[in-house]
Amino acid sequence: MKVLMIASECVPLIKTGGLGDVVGALAGALARGGVQTAVALPAYESVLDKFPAEPTGLDVAVSLGDRRRSAAVLKAAVDGGVPAYLIRNDEYFARSGLYGTAKGDYPDNAERFAFFSKAALELAAATGPWDVLHCHDWQSALAPVLNRLGAGKQSAKTIMTIHNLAHQGLFPYSEWPLLGLDIKYFTPKHLEFYGKINFLKGGILFADALTTVSRKYAEEILTPEYGCGLEGVLRERQRNLRGILNGVDYREWNPESDNFIKNNYGPGNMAGKAACKQDLQQLYNLPQRPSTPLLGIVSRLADQKGIDLLLDIVDQLLAMDLQLIILGAGDEKYQELIAALPAAHPKRIGVEIGFDNALAHKIEAAADIFLMPSRYEPCGLNQIYSLKYGTVPVVRATGGLDDTIEDFDPLSGKGNGFKFAEYSGEAFLSAIKRALAVYVNEKAWKHVVANGMAADFSWERAAADYLQLYRQVIGVRAAAAQLRA
C-alpha cells in the first residue's frame, strides 16, 4: 500500500493549527503500520530556513492558463523518517506567511494552490504509482478534480479530508483559466458556488471518498447550520463520507515526559501537577494558592472558538474566586479585548497574545479546568490534550468536542468533563459552575480527572480506520476492473 498525503501543513515542518498536527502524525502512524507513506508540501521559506532538505533532482512543470511554472522537488523527513517532498517555487512560497498576512489573504492564493495541486500530481506521477492520494482541505482540493478530469490523471484513488468546512478556497470566476478545465465544469453541479470557483466543492465532488475529523462533525456538516452552504453537495456524497476522529501525539503531549513543564506527573503521582500550577501562577503574578481553581484557554482567537461567549461572561466569571490564564492569537478585535482584561481584573487573570507552543504545554499542565466553548469544532485537539494532563474540559457539545467529552455524572462517577449545548454565555457559565461545584469535592474531582487521564486517543486507532478506508476504495477499483474484464 502506497499513500501520498497532499497537504499545505505538516508537523514538525510547518503548522498553523490542527491540520498540520494531523497530517504529520497520521503519516507517521501509517508508516509505523507498514504503509509506504510520503507527504507533498509547499517548500515555504520558513521550512527551508529551519529544516535540512536535500535535492531530489526532480523538477515538475505545470500549466496555469497560458503560463508555465515549474518547481524543484526537495526532500525532508517528518515523523519516523517519512519523506516529505517539498515543492519549491519561490515566487509562490518564499513569503513570510502561508496563506496571507495580518491584513488578509494573499491575492494570488488561487494561483498558488492551483499550482500546488497540479505540481503535487506531477510529483505523484514521477514517484508513483501510488494507490491513494490523500488530500487535505481546500489547498489541495483541486488534486482529486484534476486527477479525474485533468490531462495527467493516474490510477490512484483520491481521499478528501475536510478539517474545517468554513475554509473552502473561494475565488472569482476570472481565475478559471488557471485550472485548465473545460468551462462546462463551471456550473452549480460542479465547481461553481454562487458565481465563484469553490476549490473544496470540487474536491468533495470528485474524490473517491470523503472524510472529516469526527463522527459528530460528519453529521453536522449535512445541515444548514454547519454546512457552510455545502450541505447539499455533502448530502449528495453522504454515502462516501465518514467521520474519523483525530488522534493525538502522546509523544509530544504527555505529562509524564513533557519537557516544557515544571514537573512531570502521571495518574499515580499528581504532585507534579500542583508544582506546574504554582509555576504558572508565579509567572503571571497570580496569588499562589493551590486550592483556587485555575482555568486555562489555548486557542485561536476566532469566531469559531466561541470567544464572544467568553467575553460575555468574563466579568461574572472573574467575580468568583478563581484564576484564568488565556493564550491565544488571531482576530485583532478579540486580541485587543482580551489583552485589556488583566487591567480590569488584576490578580485574577493572566493573558498572553501570541503563538507559543511551550506555554501551551505549561497551561495544559497547570490548569484545573480547560475551556473550549466553540461555536463549531471539527475535532479539536486541546480538549484531548487536557484529558491526558488531568485538566478537566468544559466544552460545548459540538463536533469532536461532543465525541470526546462525556458529561460527568457525580452519582455514577462516569464522565470526563462538562458539556453544554446551547450557544449562549448563560449555558457556558452554568457548565463552568457545575465543574466548580465538583472541584470543591476532592473525591469526585479525583474521579473525573482519573477518567480523563485513562482515555486513549492515540493515532494508532485513527490510522487503522484510515487504512481500512484506503483498502475499501482500492477494493472498489479492483472490483470494477474485474467487472470490465
CB of 328 to ligand ADP, least distance (A): 5
Nearer to ligand ADP (CB atom), residue 72 or residue 329? 329
CB of 17 to ligand ADP, least distance (A): 3
Return the C-alpha cell found at 369.
479546568
Ranked by CB distance to ligand ADP, the top (closest) residue is 18
Let me know: does 388 contact 253? Beta carbons within 8 Å: yes
Residues at the site binding ligand ADP, with contacts judged by CB under 6 A: 17-18, 21, 298-300, 327-329, 355-357, 360, 379-382
Let me know: does 379 contact 345? Beta carbons within 8 Å: no
CB of 300 to ligand ADP, least distance (A): 4
How many of the other CB atoms lie within 10 Å of CB of 149? 16
Amino acid at 400: G
Nearer to ligand ADP (CB atom), residue 117 or residue 386? 386
Nearer to ligand ADP (CB atom), residue 327 or residue 448? 327
Nearer to ligand ADP (CB atom), residue 74 or residue 297? 297
Return the C-alpha cell found at 49.
530556513
CB of 382 to ligand ADP, least distance (A): 5
Let me know: does 327 contact 300? Beta carbons within 8 Å: no
Nearer to ligand ADP (CB atom), residue 380 or residue 425? 380
Residues 378-387 as b or e (16 or more Cβ within 10 Å = b): bbbbbbbbbb
Angstrom CA distances, 280 to 261, 351, 366, stand at 10, 11, 7
Instruction: Give, for 27, the enclosing helix (H) or strand (E).
Output: helix 18-32
Alpha carbon distance 146, 148 (integer Å): 5
Let me know: does 3 contact 129? Beta carbons within 8 Å: no
3 state SS of 429: helix
Alpha carbon distance 264, 273 (integer Å): 7
CB of 362 to ligand ADP, least distance (A): 10
CB of 239 to ligand ADP, least distance (A): 27
Cα-flanking dihedrals φ and ψ of residue 131, to 5°?
-80, -40
| Greatest alpha-carbon span in the chain | 76
CB of 8 to ligand ADP, least distance (A): 13
Nearer to ligand ADP (CB atom), residue 35 or residue 360? 360
Going by C-beta distance under 8 Å and a sequence separation of 6 or more, which residues neighbour residue 232? none
Residue pointed to by grid coordinates 504554582: 278
CB of 40 to ligand ADP, least distance (A): 21
CB of 281 to ligand ADP, least distance (A): 19
Going by C-beta distance under 8 Å and a sequence separation of 6 or more, which residues neighbour residue 89? 43, 69, 70, 71, 115, 119
Beta strand 67-78 pairing with 54-64: antiparallel
CB of 94 to ligand ADP, least distance (A): 24
3 state SS of 417: strand
Return the C-alpha cell found at 303.
469566531
CB of 480 to ligand ADP, least distance (A): 36
Nearer to ligand ADP (CB atom), residue 355 or residue 423? 355
Nearer to ligand ADP (CB atom), residue 207 or residue 351? 351
Return the C-alpha cell found at 287.
496569588
CA-based angle 245:225:399, to the nearest 5? Answer: 15
How many of the other CB atoms lie within 10 Å of CB of 81? 8
Nearer to ligand ADP (CB atom), residue 122 or residue 352? 352
Nearer to ligand ADP (CB atom), residue 257 or residue 441? 257
Nearer to ligand ADP (CB atom), residue 327 or residue 432? 327
Let me know: does 23 contact 139? Beta carbons within 8 Å: no
